[in-house]
Amino acid sequence: MPKPLFPKPTLSKPPFHTVLVANRGEIARRIIRTLRRLGIRSVAVYSDADATAAHVQEADIAVRLGPAPATASYLRADAIIAAARDTGAEAVHPGYGFLAENADFARACAEAGLVFVGPGVEALEIMGDKIRAKAHVAAFGVPVIAGAAELEPGAGGEAELVAAASALGFPLLVKPSAGGGGKGMQEVRSATELPAALAAARRIAAAAFGDDTLLLERLIERPRHIEVQVLADGHGTVISLGERECTLQRRHQKVVEEAPSPMIDSVTRQRLGEAACAAARSVDYVGAGTVEFLVSAEAPDEFAFIEMNTRLQVEHAVTELVTGIDLVEQQLRIAAGERLGLGQDDVHIDGHAIEARVYAESPERGFLPATGRMLCWHEPHGEGVRVDAAARTGDSITADYDPMIAKVIAHGDDREQALARLDAALADTVVLGLDTNIRFLRVLLAEDAVLAGELDTGLIARMPQLLPRTTAPAAVLGAAASTLAAALALDEALDDRVASAASPTWLRADAWRIGGAQPRTFTFLVGDGEPPVEVAVAPGEEGISTARAEDGNIWVHAAGETYELRPWSRRELLERQLAGRVRAEASTVPDVRAPMPGTVVAIAVATGDLVAAGDTLVTIEAMKMEHPATAPHAGVVHLGVAVGDLVARDQVVAHVVAAPAEGDIP
């Protein structure tokens, strides 16, 4: 019998009267859901970008923090504490990200007489420093990965890292000491790659965590990423709730997570749980936490400590589904000083659960972040399906925050059933108006290695690139034509009202002809570089969702797939052909365009420099991710942006003019 998606209402006394949720998006909504179930008054905080967000509307009270940038809103500890005081909150739940693992924030809460729903300051400080954490848990018998850390951040520390890298050997992994979530991690396979990797990791760490201290670790090839959920109260009880398989990652960011792991046997599960509990006890941990390990794919009974996340995890839902335990409720009760109401023998794993993270990103463009207005959001339903979503129809996805839209989770009696339910749920998830990774997720779940549970952290990187769509079924084209026809008919009706004094016959823009009406047709482009398709308006079909974007493009969801189609006039088609011809003739002087919207964080060259094909010219950051704009060929670079500039997707950031060949007359 599968566990319920959400636990039954508790009959015990609420641990608090009012709790402030110091976060946004799906995790804020998730916490508010438990607060409401427990009868606890909820306080939401928000930035100007989130003034109409779902978590703001669902809370009992909402308080504005400041402008959209996180540094001016969600990272303002003073504003959050003031909001808690003003609303009578007794406790602050930080969720994950932002200030969730910030020891100074936890300390400030305590000084303000507020309960921080999380571990103590010492645990945050030790486990928040990866260098210190590794040394600490090793002293308690927890296995760790060989590595080195800089003792003196900055120039001196960098020299230490370079020397240590030579001693450790390659490949290596450069990691920020602070923070988590894989942010800033850089793989280094040779000494020549090390300086650029250190610079990138340090830049990201400083921006994301305010601490640019780095460490090195031996890179374990084709490992599995296994984490163990722990709960600990303030009375000495520490238990594990089983492991989660978080191996399917891209750029060290988790994509799909499941519980339990398909590779861990009962003996190893017990050893992992004991190691995780030992790590928690070593810092007198209190609350919900996650201890992460790398496990060798060749030797699944061997594992090594990576780090401890001193907070709720994004993937906590899969543990809740297989144990039936509301982790947020446990966090609240522990924070209130209550004893855990269960022991290790009370933890039972029931079935299998798998979670897929739905991101606003373009897999066909190298998984670059996508922004835009969500014209339609429909979340899936079905047996064993749970959705933790951040956005709704009409919401805008911006570059200010993480691009995750929702988590789609499925529970089944076994892994096969959970996988099938998750795929069906993803097929029924409708997002119109911006690119998502849903199509990629379904391709990933269908991989033979994934179906067999034969996973490693490099699996996604080895997959063939997901190619853009080049065709669309007739039903999709017909739906797009019908949607466009309806939109144009509305536009024309409005125009007719304005020009009602003129002859209505000659003003009509529909298919009226002498001798009778003719079928109306439209021309669409499905994929760049593909021939246009002429489509006649056809009757609509059941189960198809459509929407027209502000740029005129038509979005269609049908049979579990989403398409973006661009209408083209004859004039536009001709201009496209001419532009293509011009680009081919001028291929030696192309524009270098921004691959995604974001902020210019680094410039590697100066105007007038001679660059080689593939050289990084400009680095752009958005949604905690960096991406380089590179030279398409050798030549002289002319920059069009500066550090700190905001750029739009496809904006020209530089030109590379081919240098004259030897013997050419300048």
- Report angle CA 54, 58, 64 to the nearest 5 degrees: 75
Most confident of 130-144, 159-173, 307-321: 307-321
Summary count for the chain: helices (H), strands (E):
18, 36
Burial class (CB in 10 A: 0-12, 13-18, 19+), 659: middle
CA distances from 4 to 324, 357, 559 (A): 7, 21, 29
Task: Provide the pLDDT for residue 503.
Answer: 46
In the predicted structure, residue 493 carries a pLDDT above the cut 80: no
3-state secondary structure 564-606: EEEECCHHHHHHHHHHHHHHHHCCCCCEEECCCCEEEEEECCC
Token pair belonging to 415: 């892994």
Above 60 in pLDDT, residue 41? yes
Q: Count CB atoms within 10 A of the CB of residue 110.
A: 13
Phi-psi region of 515 (alpha: psi -120 to 50; beta: other; left: phi over 0): left
Q: Tell me what the mean pLDDT of segment 127-136 comes to.
A: 90
Whole-number average pLDDT of the chain = 88
The residue ranking higher by pLDDT, 87 or 515, is 87
Asked if 273 and 113 count as a contact pair (C-beta separation under 8 A), the reply is no
Residue 497 predicted with pLDDT over 80:
no
What is the C-alpha to C-alpha distance for residues 589 and 591, in angstroms, rounded to an integer? 7
Per-position b or e across 580-617, b if 16+ CB within 10 A of its CB: eeeeeeeeeebebebbbbbebbbbbbeeeeebeeebbb
Task: Return the pLDDT at 447.
Answer: 97
Helices (H), 386-507: 415-427, 438-445, 448-452, 459-462, 474-498, 504-507
Q: What is the DSSP letter of 551?
A: T
pLDDT digits over 324-339, tens only?
A: 999 999 999 999 999 9
Confidence band, pLDDT 50/70/90 cuts, at residue 511: very low
Distance between CA atoms of 281 and 303, rounded to whole angstroms? 19
Whole-number Å distance between alpha carbons of 78 and 239: 34
Per DSSP bridges, beta strands 372-373 and 396-397 are antiparallel
CB 373 within 8 A of CB 333: no
d(CA 631, CA 595): 13
The pLDDT of residue 532 is above 90? no
pLDDT band at 520 (very low <50, low <70, confident <90, very high): confident
Q: In the predicted model, what is the mean pLDDT of residues 36-55?
A: 97
Phi-psi region of 48 (alpha: psi -120 to 50; beta: other; left: phi over 0): alpha
pLDDT of residue 407: 98
Q: Is 454 exposed, middle or buried (0-12, 13-18, 19+ CB in 10 A)?
A: middle
pTM of the model: 0.82
With contact defined as beta carbons under 8 Å apart, do 603 and 625 qualify?
Answer: no
User: What would the mean pLDDT of 29-41 be, rounded to a whole number?
Assistant: 97
Tens of pLDDT, residue by residue over 566-598, are 998 777 666 666 655 545 544 555 788 888 788
Write out the H or E segment, with its range, that includes residue 159: helix 155-168
pLDDT range class, residue 516, cuts 50, 70, 90: very low
pLDDT in tens, 614-662: 899 999 887 667 788 899 889 999 999 999 898 877 788 998 987 665 5
Cβ neighbours of residue 227 closer than 8 Å, sequence gap 6 or more: 243, 244, 246, 290, 291, 292, 293, 309, 313
Q: Which residues of 529-541 are buried (b: 16+ CB within 10 A; e: fewer)?
A: eeebbebebbeee
Parallel, antiparallel, or unpaired: how do β-strands 430-432 and 376-378 relate?
Answer: antiparallel
Average pLDDT over residues 190-196: 91
Say yes or no to pLDDT of 115 above 70. yes
pLDDT at 481: 92
What pLDDT is attached to residue 521? 86
